[in-house]
Chain A
């Protein structure tokens, strides 16, 4: 296998050889040079010795050196702590750039563990870590996109391709982890105060498209990301049950100030289009459907079908058969203007090639006392759907100062402003994509210049509006201001004992503005409609931590103890205005004829959290490791007496390679076994103010009053508790060829804080309770191999795969049906023994070859037609959205000055409920649900070209039922529309070239980048990575209602350091 791969690269090697002529020979001369690390940063103090002599020099702070070399074949030995030694043949060169690679030993890396750092070799928990170099240069706004497919146990999916959209981050099967940026736990939920998906009554349905406040953190500012997966997360106690993502931003380094300018420009296109019928095919489908109905009517008579499909009057009332029962020739022709020559490809009308540009400028430097990192960036991404973009401006300053031997102070400040021009109603039945997928090819975009075609004048009743009109005439923005800042002071009482206090704020102000022009269906009768909303979120946090670290002989001890307190204040408001003047396009609420407030359930919230934190790390001779964590959290969300929760954990490790029997062994370079067990909690998933029974605002006849808005559970609420057991091993084998980790875990989420069903007689459907239990267990494998390491060519691979299993162990009420949209039939079920995210539906029994009927299994196992299905009786579990396994495979190549990264991602066994396909494979069906309501112009939606293979004659074996005009010859909530969502994606390809240092630049790298290059999947829709709620609810994951498809991005970039 390895040999084949090598062979593949021979052409690449050969072509490169010709480009780079070899250096000439010489005898004795002065050699000047610079020693850089692999990132192009100079290494000060590196040792350079001429082999066979005592002559040696050390590099200057800027990494430069000069040395006199003699001999016929001079050879330099270059070394520096933390880097691999190199032997370099100088020959006759007079200047040289020497690159030292960081020592590959993964176990020597330092990882952030929460309230401190540890060497990886000392870590006893399951912590995934990823460094900046593994995700830089990607044209993504959200840091979560950077870790897709790269870390075991972590499944990141992109439910929507819209710029700035949230991602679904699932750590060991649990969604919505806690994000901690430089020690500040940050608000990571979508805080938009308005819905973004409305039905035509203006009611919010489904959450559509999440925005993500993680997008406020510029991925380019990030130095490393660590993810606490096991009991090590107990240090974050009450909010850690779903895992903790620790984000560390770049800090200053002593030395010459390094300026870094990075820009890339990309071009995005939709990754896949669904092929649709053209005008003629669309017309033919309708005619086929009508003719089929006449045929089946006669066939029912001929075969004496006891359950005939129609009566004669059904066909007569629509105008398919005349009074004497004879077919009316071409009855629908007048509704389908084929001769008009219109053939609109709606996907081409709403999708476009869109640019994405990212500029990032930073300076990083300092001296021994003061170090700084300052940077600013601008990210500007246009959506691949027309009139949709995301712009972000961000600034950061991280400064550390050693004021005296005892006192260190510092600050982290980041400010972000973003403008998200939304693509409206994403992944719901009134969205732009949704409408485009059903629109008739006979409908033009504009009926006359500048006048949008009225969709009601054309067929395809699926539409809620002309898709291009929706895109242009709904002007929806989410403006977001984010300010995260902290200051810290650290006092060293002695060499071993220090105290650190940190004060931080996280402030966000999200303003939504959604304007529907008077041309839109939504606001036609209103004369223009504007919804505005604001969500202000302010958290202050104070943390005070003592750390004592001491070595007693071979015993190493670190003790940490502290106290933290935080308060969050949230304010929300929303209003609506209708009736706007038509002159000048004004879209301000002041111009509305009528305004009203939209009631908000909790307009103002205060939420407090107090915590005591402690951790003890002990090791003996770096062989036997032990860590104990204890955290106590008190939350204002719960009733008095139930506010405090206690989260202990313990973990232990054994470094076998530090034992004499494995020491100095070239086969086993490092081997550690570890185990952990501990508790953590969860409370972010419940609303505030469940501590009392409250009455909230109500209106009647112009008066304001109160109605009950919540029920108290029978036992007071308390923390959701996660207990997790983990065993794992970290290893480095075969002379550093292979390194990695293998983990096995069992995680129980117990006392789940969730809305439990109660009897409706209470006036409520649900009450928040601690009830139920969900178990996750799994095996995670993460491997890194150094396949080839030679002077000019290196090739490393990393591979990860995770087998996770999720099972509901108990529920307050079993068999709860869940609707992905609050006005639609249930698509999911919560059922003991099944995973969260289980789909229900009727089982498809195939197409009857005799007459083309779609058949379904009734509850008793017999087969029935779509119009005979009784959903409640016949529905059953049909699959679930969770993959059986997922992972990624990433390869890094470096040949001389070229570097190439290929990152891939895979997922196997996850199902997707393709609900939108029930529209675009409606098989010529007319819109009315009863035969009496159908009419010849009323075809439901255009169809994809798959229906060209629909059943057409008796005896035909096919999976696509007979087109029918009067009957819906398919049942939407069935596994006919449940598809295999397994995929293999080439997520990222990055090819770079680094130039030699020039007079002005210490490093220049140019690169070509491809994102979402290619997907292999059987999925019929745009992309199998979908979720009805934008990732908000894992009970309804994997529902496709025409989500915004992902973009394929090709970009070019340059990174300059000077």
Chain B
């Protein structure tokens, strides 16, 4: 009798999840491969990456932002430009960005087992994976590495293959990190050669060129920066909004504009956190808004008569604080797009890379499309004033889009600009975030900390 019971009802010990898949199932054919690519893009939308926090924390850590929220020590550290290595946000962001890299690596490795897909399709997938892997490495480098110093050993761990639990990858030098980023983008460019589509939601040749322009600018390789920026400007798919249409670019969740080269779409099923962290609701208290605008940004705009970009700041809030209005639309759907690359950046990259004499035209293209008068060459009599004019245009254009802190670091201005705004003592070391303490612990000190942290 017992034997009968044992045989008939025995619970099975080998259980496979009915709702998850294994990589063997996924990388069988082109359908599974495309579903993995969907997953790769979704990693960019993690709340800790472009879901809001990565670009917003970078603005908070600059003269654009002030920390709001409930007196959260970790948020306040950004507001005081003194992030420490146990900060919960950098810890999460660091891993979220590497999740993109790990997923890209899994797809690149997985392609070898895919049956029945065309070489063109495999190349298209690999090109996207390489581009996003390069962008993730670059985003890590400018947040956690000495990206402004090409001779520095403090790059970031470059990961180009699937890692296991025990893997430890030490930091590459800054030069090696840049080299890996450029190599991935160059290879991707070859693989995607001939793709004509310019959907800003998916990697295409213009996005690769725009990223290359940005990376070369950071490396101070101005010739290449100009070349790639020009390729994008002349692409034909993108157009600057003029002064009367500029503010509308950000309405309805900033979903459609020829301004956008690379944007990440969100929808009600898959929400972003920009609205909640920068606006919260029409009469929100300062505690509800994590990323408040700095009074310094208001003073900055007040000295720029006619700049339509000032209209994207809420200065009349009865609760006595300032906030950006870039993500204030669509509180219902909470689907404000992440704006990774806009065409305006290409003009400003070229303006900066070409220098005072040749770049002023590009700078003025931006100014005139934003309600400002063009600058005469007498307005920028020397390189310093010109550099300041470019920096100001970048700040006016990209505040609360995650550029400011990296721009300050890249141009060596973190201490001079931010020191007056804090009671703490800043050094050049504050030009990037510390490596999260947990990475140093988990790697048994193989990953070393940035100097000064």
Contacts and interface: CB of A to CB of B under 8 A. Distances in A.
Contact of B23 (A527, A695, A767, A930): A695
Contact of B76 (A521, A694, A701, A929): A929
A635 B13 CA distance: 6
A44 B13 CA distance: 52
B9 A565 contact: yes
Contacts of B287: 461-464, 927
Interface stretch (B187-195, B234-242, B275-283, B368-376): B275-283
B295 A933 contact: yes
Contacts of A567: 11-12
A695 B19 CA distance: 9
Interface string B413-431: 0000000011110000000
Given A464-B288, A699-B269, A704-B35, A825 B17 contact: no
A707 B42 contact: yes
A603 B11 CA distance: 21
Interface in A769-822: 769, 813-817, 819, 822
A567 B9 CA distance: 10
B17 A605 contact: yes
B10 A606 contact: no
B165 A867 contact: no
Nearest to B446: A759
Interface string A695-718: 111111111111111011110000
B423 to A, nearest CB: 5
B119 interface: no
Interface in B182-203: 201-202
A925 to B, nearest CB: 9
A705 B36 contact: yes
Interface residues of B, number: 114
Contacts of A602: 17, 19-20
Contact of A455 (B285, B332, B439): B285
Nearest to A640: B14
Contact of B441 (A317, A604, A814, A935): A814
Contacts of B280: 200
A972 interface: yes
Contacts of A670: none
Interface stretch (A30-38, A278-286, A869-877): A869-877
Contact of A700 (B42, B168, B438): B42
B38 A705 contact: yes
A608 B89 CA distance: 38
Contact of A928 (B5, B74, B87, B286): B286
A695 B80 contact: no
B439 A759 contact: yes
Nearest to B293: A933
Contacts of A429: 70
Nearest to B74: A825
A816 B82 contact: no
A767 B164 CA distance: 10
Contacts of A713: 165
A688 B17 contact: yes
B45 interface: yes
Nearest to A200: B288
Given A609-B11, A700-B38, A972 B66 contact: no
Contact of B84 (A544, A872, A933, A972): A872
Contacts of A825: 72-74, 86-88
B442 A759 contact: yes
B207 interface: no
Given A636-B12, A762-B163, A824 B38 contact: no
With most chain A CB atoms within 10 A of its CB, the pick from B41, B72, B434, B442 is: B442
B339 interface: no
Contacts of B443: 759
B437 A932 contact: no
Interface string B247-268: 0000000000000000001011
Contact of A761 (B79, B102, B265, B285): B102
Contact of B169 (A596, A693, A712, A761): A761
B442 A758 contact: yes
Interface stretch (B92-100, B215-223, B352-360, B379-387): B92-100
B209 interface: no
Contacts of A823: 72, 74, 88-89
A300 to B, nearest CB: 12
Given A813-B442, A929-B76, A933-B321, A636 B14 contact: yes
Interface in B1-44: 2, 5-6, 9-23, 26, 34-43
Given A713-B165, A824-B88, A930-B422, A759 B447 contact: yes
Interface in B64-79: 66-67, 70-77, 79
Nearest to B269: A596
A349 interface: no
B15 A706 contact: no
A880 to B, nearest CB: 19
B320 A938 contact: yes
A700 B13 contact: no
Nearest to B162: A762
B421 A930 contact: yes
Interface string A440-464: 0000000000000011110001111
A756 to B, nearest CB: 8
Nearest to B10: A565
With most chain A CB atoms within 10 A of its CB, the pick from B17, B75, B166, B169 is: B17
With most chain A CB atoms within 10 A of its CB, the pick from B43, B77, B165 is: B165
B305 interface: no
A205 to B, nearest CB: 11
Interface in A820-840: 822-826
B174 interface: no
Contact of A764 (B6, B45, B70, B95): B95
B158 to A, nearest CB: 9
B319 interface: yes
B106 interface: yes
Given A606-B18, A932-B421, A456 B283 contact: yes
B18 A695 contact: no
Interface of A: 200-203, 307, 309, 317, 429, 454-457, 461-464, 499, 501, 521, 524-527, 542, 544, 563, 565-567, 578-579, 594, 596-597, 602-610, 634-636, 640, 643, 688-689, 691-709, 711-714, 757-765, 767, 769, 813-817, 819, 822-826, 867-868, 870-873, 875, 918-919, 927-933, 935, 937-938, 940, 968, 972-973
Interface of B: 2, 5-6, 9-23, 26, 34-43, 45, 47, 66-67, 70-77, 79-80, 82, 84-89, 91-92, 94-95, 98-103, 106, 157, 159, 163-169, 201-202, 265, 267-270, 273, 276-277, 280-288, 292, 294-296, 318-321, 331-333, 421-424, 434, 436-439, 441-443, 447, 453
22 contacts: A309-B423, A454-B283, A455-B285, A524-B281, A525-B282, A525-B331, A525-B332, A567-B11, A635-B13, A695-B26, A699-B269, A700-B45, A701-B201, A705-B36, A760-B94, A761-B167, A765-B92, A824-B74, A825-B86, A868-B424, A930-B294, A940-B71
Closest 3 CB pairs of A and B: A705-B38, A763-B102, A525-B331
